[in-house]
Amino acid sequence: MAAAPLLTMSGITKSFPGVRALDGVDLDVEAGEVHCLLGQNGAGKSTLIKVLAGAHQPDEGRISWEGREVRLGSPVAAMRLGIATIYQELDLVEHLSVTENVFLGHEVATRGFLRVRTARERAAALLRRLGHPEIDPRTLVGALSAAGQQIVSMARALSHEVRLIVMDEPSAALDPDEVGNLFRIVTDLTAQGVAVVYISHRLEEIRRIGDRVSVLKDGRVAARGLPARTTATREVVSLMTGREIAYVFPPRPARPYGTPARTGDEAATDRHSGDTGSGTTGSGTTGPGESGSGDAHSWDPWSKDPRSKDPYSKTAASQDSAPQDSAPQDRVSEDHRSQDHRSQDRPSAAHAPQDHEPHPPAPRSGPTVPTPLTPALLSLQSLTRKGEFAPLDLDVHPGEIVGLAGLVGSGRSEILETVAGARRPSGGRVLVDGKPLRPGSVPAAVRAGIGLAPEERKAQALLMLEPVSSNVSLSSLGRFSTGGWLDGRRERAAALAGTRDLSLSPADPDRPVRTLSGGNQQKVVLARWLLRECRVLLLDEPTRGVDVGARSELYALIRRLADEGLAVLLVSSEVPEVLGLADRVLVLREGVVVHRAPAAELDEHRVLDLVMEGAPSC
């Protein structure tokens, strides 16, 4: 009689208000195997691993461990059983040392006294096991790179008697050498009988490291136990498709993008009257199950493109990049659309991990945006940061959305942060309305009308415990203070007007930001810069952690702001999002612009080829 699997999850169901995240999911994992879990964003992967980690309790279903039914009532219960989870957003304490993080919650102690030296020695041994003896156990975790922090998170998992490790996008922030070391660690663990549940969108990784594959779609199991090394990419992609919801992008303006759709006074009037200026009802987008308007162009992010080839092949990934200055790798961001025959951008930068899966090109309607008629609002002239992105020339005009696409380490986020003054450039300059800004100065950038919505909005943009009103007014406190005293009533009234304009739900300025959804949190950040009357909007992963329906609202909002005359520079790791939302796209590889084109002239496969092959074509 065959031995029972190490882990069996049967009929797992989990619902949240308004959504059924898991609907009868089955999963079995054998000891010593790498079981890969695939699925689009929103497929239910995160919810499933949180159930497995004891962070969520299933509404229905059973969990068995070596054939015995168990209840994982808490993360501690899961850890005692031998289940460790390494989340994509690492749960480390930055102001504690490596050793203190590794043994957090199960400190090495005798009779209530910490054994600091013993803990340090054990931590060093775990780091050697993971192939990183150079990490000093006494170092503060906050001083480590993203890759170093991930190693610490893995060491913490191995500090327990672990028998199953869940790895959620473990390679997202790693360079190729570090990915190789990650695979070595996984191979060593499975050789010792440890099971690994490996979540990734990178199909090449699945083939290299995986044994079996299960696919989730819309909270249900689309396939179980497929052979990882022999299942064709086309089949895997097909299993993840078929979703009825489509992202609907607002129509591109037929006017030249140097000309706002409305004057400032008209735009303000429209905002207060609830007119989005998109020519559609409500948000100007189509929700799930509805058809788009005549102008709007929609993209089904789960549909299958028959022309698709495997963008994760080692051949493509190993191509030499552009023969220009190089910089760290970065994840995929994509957007393009209008034409700018005057600006000659070279590299750009950003920080953030992501994956890229074959998607169809975004269908488009309406004419391509013509050549700009007015001067650029934002100009980058030979802007560069050593080791991050090569000299970059770029003009962004009023009413234009420019997208930056590239892999992890390509320098996209670094470009936005340099423009915003959060990083000091090593060369070049930033101009707003033709006037140069003081380099490396956030106050100077804000005074010039630049607003940044960063990738990590919870850590870098929002005061999570404070109400909406305090977050919205943060960059404009001088408007609501007299003699050093803050007028809370005026502050609250301005926040209420701004959030209503952006359809914040609920429109309560006293509500703590931490209680809002991801999409509404992003609206709070945007409301802050609109209250400040910014003219240049920098968006880094604006839909990160935002559900499908809320994305459509954000797309319409971003297009509306551009129509009102803002210049928008956008970074996104989802290529179809960049192609569907931007007017013009710059494709980056290792800090160098390898291609620029109107978004309408690109499709996802072309962008992926460019970021992997890196041949300059501009």
174 and 107 share one domain: yes
340 in Cβ contact with 403 (< 8 Å)? no
78 and 174 share one domain: yes
pLDDT at res. 409:
67
pLDDT at 185 over 70: yes
CATH number at residue 265: 3.40.50.300
pLDDT at res. 33:
95
pLDDT digit string, tens, across residues 588-598: 988 899 999 99
Q: Check residue 479 and give left, alpha or beta (phi > 0: left; psi -120 to 50: alpha).
A: alpha
CB atoms within 10 A of CB 547: 16
Chain centroid to CA 172: how far? 10
Kindly state the average pLDDT of the residues 92-112.
92
274 and 209 share one domain: no
In angstroms, the CA 354 to CA 200 distance is 9
Both structure tokens of 586: 């710059």
90 and 168 share one domain: yes
Kindly state the average pLDDT of the residues 78-98.
88
Both structure tokens of 95: 């102001």
442 and 546 share one domain: yes
Q: Which residue has the higher pLDDT, 466 or 43?
A: 466
Within a domain: residue 40?
yes
Q: How long is the chain?
A: 618
pLDDT confidence tier of residue 333, bands split at 50, 70 and 90: very low
Radius of gyration of the chain (CA): 25
pLDDT at res. 545:
63
pLDDT at 350 over 80: no
Within a domain: residue 477?
no
50 in Cβ contact with 86 (< 8 Å)? no
393 in Cβ contact with 568 (< 8 Å)? no
389 and 257 share one domain: yes
Residue 116 dihedral angles phi and psi, to the nearest 5°: -60, -45
% of residues, the chain, pLDDT over 90: 39
124 and 261 share one domain: no
In angstroms, the CA 117 to CA 95 distance is 19
pLDDT confidence tier of residue 616, bands split at 50, 70 and 90: very low
251 and 233 share one domain: no
Provide DSSP, 418-485: HHTTSS--SEEEEEETTEEPPTT-HHHHHHTTEEEE-S-HHHHT--TTSBHHHHHTGGGGGGGEETTE
14 and 161 share one domain: yes
Both structure tokens of 278: 């998109």
577 in Cβ contact with 332 (< 8 Å)? no
pLDDT at res. 203:
75
Within a domain: residue 458?
no
Kindly state the average pLDDT of the residues 228-242.
77
pLDDT at res. 392:
94
227 and 355 share one domain: no
What is the spatial order of strands in the sheet that 584-589 belongs to? 450-453, 536-540, 567-571, 401-406, 584-589, 592-598
**Region of poorest pLDDT, from 58-67, 137-146, 381-390, 603-612:** 603-612
577 in Cβ contact with 543 (< 8 Å)? yes
Both structure tokens of 172: 């997202």
pLDDT at res. 318:
35
What is the spatial order of strands in the sheet that 68-70 belongs to? 19-29, 7-16, 60-65, 68-70
pLDDT digit string, tens, across residues 269-287: 444 444 433 333 333 333 3
Within a domain: residue 302?
no
pLDDT at res. 391:
95
- Angle of helix 518-531 relative to helix 488-501, nearest 10 degrees, comes to 120
pTM: 0.56
Within a domain: residue 99?
yes
pLDDT at 508 over 70: yes
Q: What is the mean pLDDT of the chain?
A: 77
Within a domain: residue 454?
no
Q: Which residue has the higher pLDDT, 243 or 332?
A: 243
Nearest to 77 by CA among 92, 65, 62, 60: 65
pLDDT at res. 306:
31
Determine if the peptide bond prior to 506 is cis (ω within 30°).
yes
Both structure tokens of 348: 């750009």
In the listed set 214, 239, 264, which residue is the last one of a domain according to the structure? 239
Which residues span the domain enclosing 558?
247-280+333-449+535-613
pLDDT at res. 477:
86
73 and 164 share one domain: yes
* Contacts for 408 with CB less than 8 Å, ≥ 6 apart: 172, 173, 329, 330, 331, 332, 352, 353, 354
Within a domain: residue 493?
no
**Region of poorest pLDDT, from 290-294, 432-436, 555-559:** 290-294
In angstroms, the CA 32 to CA 386 distance is 44
397 in Cβ contact with 258 (< 8 Å)? yes
156 and 56 share one domain: yes
Kindly state the average pLDDT of the residues 470-494.
88
Within a domain: residue 291?
no
In angstroms, the CA 164 to CA 158 distance is 10
pLDDT at 323 over 70: no
**Region of poorest pLDDT, from 139-153, 163-177, 315-329, 553-567:** 315-329
Q: Which residue has the higher pLDDT, 611 or 230?
A: 230
pLDDT confidence tier of residue 254, bands split at 50, 70 and 90: low
Kindly state the average pLDDT of the residues 131-137.
91
Kindly state the average pLDDT of the residues 134-157.
89
pLDDT digit string, tens, across residues 455-465: 888 888 899 89
Chain centroid to CA 143: how far? 22
Encode burial over 475-504: b for 16+ CB neighbours within 10 A, e otherwise: ebeeebeeeeeeeeeebbebbbbbbebbbb
In angstroms, the CA 240 to CA 308 distance is 14
pLDDT at 581 over 50: yes
pLDDT at res. 378:
95
Nearest to 607 by CA among 555, 572, 564: 572
Both structure tokens of 386: 């050593």
Kindly state the average pLDDT of the residues 54-60.
94
Kindly state the average pLDDT of the residues 68-93.
89
pLDDT at res. 284:
37
In angstroms, the CA 400 to CA 372 distance is 9
pLDDT confidence tier of residue 354, bands split at 50, 70 and 90: very low
Total domains in the chain come to 2
In the listed set 188, 212, 239, which residue is the last one of a domain according to the structure? 239
Nearest to 8 by CA among 21, 23, 25, 26: 26
Q: Which residue has the higher pLDDT, 604 or 175?
A: 604
In the listed set 185, 210, 239, which residue is the last one of a domain according to the structure? 239
